Amino acid sequence: APAAGPAGTAADGIRRAAVRVLAAGWHGAHTVPSRGLYPHQWSWDSAFIAIGNARWAPRRARLELATLFGAQWADGRVPHIVFDPAVPADAYFPGPDFWAARAPSGAATSGIVQPPVHALAARLVHAADPCPAFLRRIYPRLVAQQEFLRAARRTPDGLLVIVHPWESGMDNSPAWDGPLAAVAAEPLGAARRDLAHVAAGERPTDRDYGRYIALARAYRDTGYRRAGAFAVADPLFNALYAAAESALAEIAAECGHDPGPHRREAARATAAMVGHLYQDGLFHARDARTGRPLHSGSAAGLIPLILPGLPPEIAAELTRAALDRFGVAGGTLPSLAPGSPGFDRARYWRGPSWINLSWLLWRGLRHRAPEAADALAGGMLAAVARSGMREYFDPVTLAGHGCHDFAWTAALVLDVLA
């Protein structure tokens, strides 16, 4: 952990820096992940941001979620980007013209989703600053978000699939290399904007982008109803879906509704993951088109530790994997187990440490392996003390990578410090 400095403790300095980043990213009703690289509202970013804002500006936390759910579609889907009309259309690629989608509210949005962290966020926002009216308003929205996933994305064996790597939140994870190899890359039709902000060696490749665009176009051209040639069951996405049902059970009880159906759905989703995605001490994604497991060594496979109903023997094996294969006792969680094919300490989701994954695992380990959880908490603080609120970090040296002043990094270290 960082040492105390002359101007107060190191924790105070981190807190002040985090609040500065969140305040600078606030746009009146939502927060941008990064002012240059990601100038709109992103779905799972907003959930993490709300969790941090709840610690110092709870009204902003509630408004963040309300704004995002204000752009929810009639079918319940929460789009992964809500475009800010005040930002030039070409500031981010692919922008609103590419996605060509509108929510009933009139907001321009994308048409894909991201991991459903929002019910957990709503529960934590309420716990930090109780507001029954907020919970009552957001509850049916959160239920509709889950219903969309069940209706549109559930396979016969009870798992949810994502239809685009961007839906995983871990865009260029090596887990997707196999299924993506079957997708023909297409010309982008416009310039990548990300490379104006971040070095190419820290971002997905051009070939990745050609495939991302081909898949997004194929889905778009069916009115976002039938997906292109990519369908995978991801343990991170499925774990967050099941965790959302557990959070919804608590929210339902607070709102005077029956928590039973949510509890049962959480248990059912957990059992489906254990039955189909767990092998040799880790959860693995599965290609829903071929039925094959995708053994990549992705840290997504540890995130089911957040599930309260995980069988204890599996929780113990996963904890062992976190310690032995990912080395979390050293304080960092690499996004890919070191030594796995494709491991790269600087390139995006292929090795660097991300604060959101560390935070999720920290929560999962707190009651199971408190020493490992404390090491992760110390490691998150050490990373931002060394390099600032960067988007991701070298898991060995803690050097910063990606953009600066990244909102969920700031938000989640505030939560760790609370």
Could you tell me which stretch among 120-128, 163-171, 213-221, 244-252 binds ligand 9WN (CB under 6 A)? 163-171
Measured from each CB, the residue nearest to ligand 9WN is 33
State yes or no: residue 234 binds ligand 9WN (CB under 6 A). no
State yes or no: residue 237 binds ligand 9WN (CB under 6 A). no
**Exactly one of 64, 84, 265, 391 is catalytic; which is it?**
391
Q: How far is CA 46 from CA 31, 35, 335, in A?
A: 7, 14, 21
Binding to ligand 9WN, residues 179-198 (CB under 6 A): 194
Alpha helices in 26-129 (DSSP H): 43-53, 58-70, 96-99, 118-128
CB of 390 to ligand 9WN, least distance (A): 12
Q: Which of 293, 296, 368 is nearest to 328 (CA)?
A: 368
- Strand-pair category, 81-82 with 41-42: antiparallel
Distance, first Cα to last Cα, the chain: 15
What is the four-CA torsion angle of 340, 162, 405, 297, rounded to 10 degrees? Answer: -10
Rounded to 5°, the CA angle 386-30-104 comes to 145
Judged by CB, which is closer to ligand 9WN: 194, or 250?
194
Q: How far is CA 101 from the centre of its chain?
A: 22
Judged by CB, which is closer to ligand 9WN: 11, or 29?
29
State yes or no: residue 167 binds ligand 9WN (CB under 6 A). no
State yes or no: residue 116 binds ligand 9WN (CB under 6 A). no
Taking CB under 6 A as the criterion, the residue among 38, 224, 359, 392 binding ligand 9WN is 38
Interface with ligand 9WN (CB under 6 A), residue total 10
Q: How far is CA 331 from CA 3, 155, 375, in A?
A: 16, 37, 5
**Exactly one of 64, 84, 167, 171 is catalytic; which is it?**
171
State yes or no: residue 33 binds ligand 9WN (CB under 6 A). yes
CB of 257 to ligand 9WN, least distance (A): 30
Rounded to 5°, the CA angle 19-33-248 comes to 90
State yes or no: is 391 an active-site residue.
yes
Taking CB under 6 A as the criterion, the residue among 19, 22, 25, 42 binding ligand 9WN is 42
State yes or no: is 234 an active-site residue.
no
Q: Which of 96, 114, 91, 108 is nearest to 43 (CA)?
A: 114
Which amino acid, 367? H
State yes or no: residue 209 binds ligand 9WN (CB under 6 A). no
Q: Which two tokens stand for residue 203?
A: 């971002």
Could you tell me which stretch among 55-63, 124-132, 165-173, 275-283 binds ligand 9WN (CB under 6 A)? 165-173
Paired with 279 in beta bridges are: 282
Q: In the complex, which residues of this chain contact ligand 9WN (CB under 6 A)?
A: 33, 38, 42, 44-45, 80, 166, 169, 171, 194
Query: Would you please indicate which residues are annotated as catalytic (active-site) residues?
Result: 171, 391
